[in-house]
Amino acid sequence: MPALTDVQTRPHPTEAATERRLAPDDLVVTKTDLRGHITYANETFLRVSGASETEVAGRAHNLIRHPDMPGGVFRLMWDTLGAGEEIFAYVLNRAIDGPFYWVLAHVTPTRDRSGAVVAYHSTRRAPSRDAIPPVRDLYARMRELERGRPRREGAEASLAWLTEHLDSQGLSYEEWLWSLEGDL
């Protein structure tokens, strides 16, 4: 196992943490097994995440989890994948070498010939810059709801709040996302 800073023991990023912006044509790709362990990463992922191939191979994808990301969003992601569906989501990541970066992720199940889900695939691109402040705001409110609660319970509570909050505007998460991208 390559030497890597433990995600759990890394300090919380300070205000001084810098942003690494994706170029408009960057496509950040990874594939995982059913547990979310990385089986493939493209060159763009390695560059943006500040990692080498040996550092990421076989590692859990939470390797680049940013502590400001609400568990409720990952709960939505795994629930959707578990239902055999694809999902688009805004994700804030933290590169191994420090900077944070925002992505608009598309995550899909990969099926074998019999239709069984055997793996997952994610392609990410730069989100609209205008989307970031409202996403940051909503995710901060979710994190607030998760604070002090056991992980699972917190994620369920914040996802329930998010669903209700968007529902009151007549939007699903995906519709909200495309409205922020200017595509709806």
Binding site for ligand FMN (CB under 6 A): 30, 32, 36, 61-62, 64-65, 69, 74, 91, 93, 107, 120-122
Q: By C-beta, is 28 or 180 nearer to ligand FMN? A: 28
Smallest separation (angstroms) from ligand FMN to the CB of 150 = 12
Q: By C-beta, is 123 or 176 nearer to ligand FMN? A: 123
Smallest separation (angstroms) from ligand FMN to the CB of 133 = 20
Smallest separation (angstroms) from ligand FMN to the CB of 178 = 20
Q: By C-beta, is 120 or 176 nearer to ligand FMN? A: 120
Alpha carbons 177 and 127: distance in angstroms, whole number: 10
Q: By C-beta, is 20 or 61 nearer to ligand FMN? A: 61
